[in-house]
Each structure stands twice: as C-alpha cells, then as structure tokens.
Amino acid sequence: MSGTLFLCATPIGNLEDITFRVLRTLKEVDLIAAEDTRNTIKLLNHFEIKTPMTSYHEYNKYDKAATLVDKLLTGTNIALVTDAGTPGISDPGEIIVRQAYDAGVPVTSLPGACACITALTLSGLSTRRFAFEAFLPTDKKERRRILTSLQTETRTTIIYEAPHHLRNTLSELYDAIGDRGITLCRELTKIHETVQLMTLSAAVCYYQEHDPKGEYVLVIQGRDQAELDAEAKSSWDNISIEDHMERYLTQGLSRKDAMKRVALDRGVSKRDIYQSLLQS
C-alpha cells in the first residue's frame, strides 16, 4: 500500500496558529518535504520535532515531485510544508499534488493559516466573491493583461507583494483601474501587524513618503456592477439598433437570438427591439 501525502498548513507569523493535528502529523510522518529547510527547521526545533526533511521548491518541483511520489508508492508517508501558510497556494505544491493523484496516491489537506484569507477577512471589503491573483506576473505583456482585466472585475481581488515592489505596483494599479478602495495588510499575525484601509490614490501618496516594510497582501475593492452596466448601456446607445443586430448576426447568431442579446445589452424588451426594426 502507498503512503499518504499530507498538505500541512504552517503559521504565517505567529507560531501559536499551528494546529494540534499538523503538529501530530509532522511528528508521525516518515519525511517532511519543505520549501526551505532552513526556515522549517526553526519551526520543528520550536516544537521539538525530529522528523527528517528534504527540500521541495520552485526550482526542483517537477523532478523532486516524481522522486517523492516514488517514495509515497513504496509506503512512505510525507508531509508537505511551505515557508508559511497552506501548501499549494502560490507555491509549487500544486505540482506534487497533481502527480500524486495521477499515481493513485492518497492526498489530504490539513487546514490552517493562509495569508490571502486572513487579509480578506480583515479588509472590511466584500468577502462573498473574491479573486486571488497571488503575485502579479513579471512578464510585461502578461502583467498588462491581468491589470486590464481588473478594470471590469466586480469581485474583491487579492494580490501579494514584496516591500521593494510595492510602490511600483500601487502606481500600476492606480493607472490601470483608477481610484478604488484598497486594504493593505502587512506582517499578518506578527507583532507589527498593520491593516490600512484607504483608497489607491491615498496609498500611492502614503508610500511615496513612507518606506514599505514587511510582506504585503493587497485587498482591492471590485467595480460596482450597476456602474459597469450603465457604462455598457451608454456605449450601445452610440450605435443604431440595426448595427447592434449586425454585430451578433455576423457572429452566427440567429435573428431571434440576436434580438434577445440586443435587448439585454440595451436594457429593454425584445418586443421593443422588434418594433424598432419594423419601423426602420
């Protein structure tokens, strides 16, 4: 029988946030796969855990995942831990999870601290629907695509950022999406935890005068849906109903379906569209 892969959430700052279940599992497994063994050894020493470790990180995630899965298939139980928080969230954990499933290895997740959820609950913004972007891409084209998509994003958006990139990222966000509400969370669960509720324009100004310190989670207010709908309706008012219909007809829609879409776009009934076309 194969072993089990345990995804163990570790503290994002305060060591008291680790669960009893994670502590027990870290003691009982045969091996701990850690993103950075130098960081994890501090946690293990604090709780007097002697389980052997091996490294599993961004630069060996494919080959090392295959090696670890081979061990799991021989009956070895392995705990996967990240530097802080829940494995698989903005780290290489997703690779070994996929390979484990493909090999028929059981996987279970031991819940605990997660920076994005902690920040969201502290943000004072809507928590019903949210989008997690982690760190914005470094590739300029991909980064621009993500920033553009946020212009019409109605969900609360969560972004991670390092202190030395914060000023630039705030400026890019302001240029791309305008002035929105934003909550900046830093040093979550630690002694110097700070939560700042402000607007993007205020955040840009604040960090021009103050040096960013610590790791940040940015929680950004989504666009108002009614405002987006009004903008969309206004844009359709600038073209004739005939031209509006033609856009959908050229996409292959039937005349009936095209009328439905035009009516929906303009916020009127299909009968209104039908009557207008008869009169034209």
Please check whether residue 147 is in contact with residue 173, taking contact to mean a CB–CB distance below 8 angstroms.
yes
Q: Is 125 exposed, middle or buried (0-12, 13-18, 19+ CB in 10 A)?
A: buried
Instruction: Give the number of other Cβ atoms within 10 Å of residue 71's Cβ.
Output: 19
Joined together, the tokens standing for residue 239 give 């073209």
pTM (2 d.p.): 0.80
Percent of all residues in the chain with a pLDDT value above 90, rounded to a whole number: 78
Determine the residue type at 116.
C
Q: What is the pLDDT of residues 14-49, one digit of tens each?
A: 999 999 999 999 999 999 999 999 999 999 999 999
Question: Mean pLDDT, to the nearest integer, of 97-117?
Answer: 97
Q: State the Cα–Cα distance between residues 35 and 164, nearest whole angstrom.
A: 22
Q: State the Cα–Cα distance between residues 236 and 241, nearest whole angstrom.
A: 9
Strand residues in 56-210 grouped as ranges (E): 78-81, 107-110, 130-135, 156-161, 181-186, 194-199
